[in-house]
Amino acid sequence: MSDNRVWSYSATLMGSPILLKLFANNEALAARVFGLIKRYEDLLTVNRAHSQVMDINHAAGQHPVAVSRPVYELIKCAKAASMVQDSAFNLAIGPLVKLWRIGFKGDRVPPADEITARLRITHPQDVVLNDTDGSVFLTQPGMEIDLGAIAKGFIADRVRDYLHQQDVRDGLINLGGNVQTLGTPQGSWSIGLKKPFSSSDALVGSIDVVNKSVVTSGTYERYFEQDGKRWHHILDPRSGYPLDNELDSVTIISRDSLDGDIWTTLIFGLGVEKGCALLKQREDIEAIFVTKNRDIILSSQRQFRFTPCDDSYRITD
């Protein structure tokens, strides 16, 4: 007999807290899920000397590198998102991410001339793909692919697919901000939306979803302070500096967490007005914007229900 008791399993992978929730006590399944995440981390990480992505990066300016199908397909998808007109998403942002080191030891504002020099080796069109042999070639020396803004979404979807295969109907996986849900325990899953820059676990509201992914990207997640200013980890590929607009965070509700990841970055680059306009073209994707002025803007509420819980924020539909 199943009941509504939830079992939670946690791990630290990809430098992030990982949480799995199941409706059965199944330690072995949790271990297999964490093993799956670990295998993808090993293929995709850029924080170690070796991975399939690092093999591509090491061969920049020299030769193409054939990679496994899932890695190739993810890179292809990341390149397509990067080539959208005015896209803030850029899979070739690696040299700038490594220069700033935000969230890692030694982060600091780099000299302007170093930023300018690295902007020359961050063009997504210089990532050359070959569908026939599944190879990737970075045409300029020093180029680096960084999938930090998309890999967690891709992996969250693989975990969902794996749980489906294992006949798990209800569950939740949270990969440090990428939440993917299965099923409808007690009607829906309720996911907290963090209050930006609050020291505690304070929330601005909660989001109720059924069979949806909820992805949040925020300026408050990874940042450092220098010269009286906060420098966060979502970089503007046009300027080489952290994106600076009215937003504290963007949350995307979608079926696939991969879309959530792409769209949080796209929308961050566009801001509220242009972001809402672009979302009108995609009925299957919805957003919650949290601004520095304490406005919460909901693109629409077809796929989720939002319950506010902080009076200092104003809600706009």
Question: Residue 47 binds which one of ligand FAD, Mg ion, none, with CB within 5 to 8 A depending on kind?
Answer: ligand FAD
Q: In the complex, which residue's CB is closest to ligand FAD?
A: 15
Cα angle value 134/138/143 (rounded, 5°): 140
Please give the structure tokens belonging to residue 251: 């949350």
Stretch that binds Mg ion, among 32-40, 111-119, 172-180, 240-248 (CB under 5 A): 172-180
143: contact with ligand FAD by CB under 6 A: no
Q: Which is nearer to ligand FAD, 137 or 154 (CB)?
A: 154
Please give the structure tokens belonging to residue 18: 């990982």
Residue list 221-280, contact with Mg ion (CB under 5 A): 261
Residue recorded with tokens 């304070």: 202
177: contact with Mg ion by CB under 5 A: yes
Shortest distance (Å) from residue 206 CB to Mg ion? 17
75: contact with ligand FAD by CB under 6 A: no
Site string for ligand FAD, 21-60 (x = CB under 6 A): --------------------x--xx-x-------------
Determine whether 19 is exposed, middle or buried from the number of CB atoms within 10 Å of its CB (0-12, 13-18, 19+).
middle
CA dist., res. 98 & res. 106, Å (int): 11
CA distances from 110 to 119, 148, 213, 226 (A): 13, 20, 35, 11
Q: Which is nearer to ligand FAD, 122 or 299 (CB)?
A: 122
CA dist., res. 278 & res. 114, Å (int): 33
- In the sheet where 203-209 sits, what is the strand order? 189-194, 203-209, 305-308
Residues forming the site for ligand FAD (CB under 6 A) = 14-16, 41, 44-45, 47, 88-90, 93, 97, 103, 146, 148-149, 151-152, 177, 217, 221-222, 233-235, 237, 261, 264-265
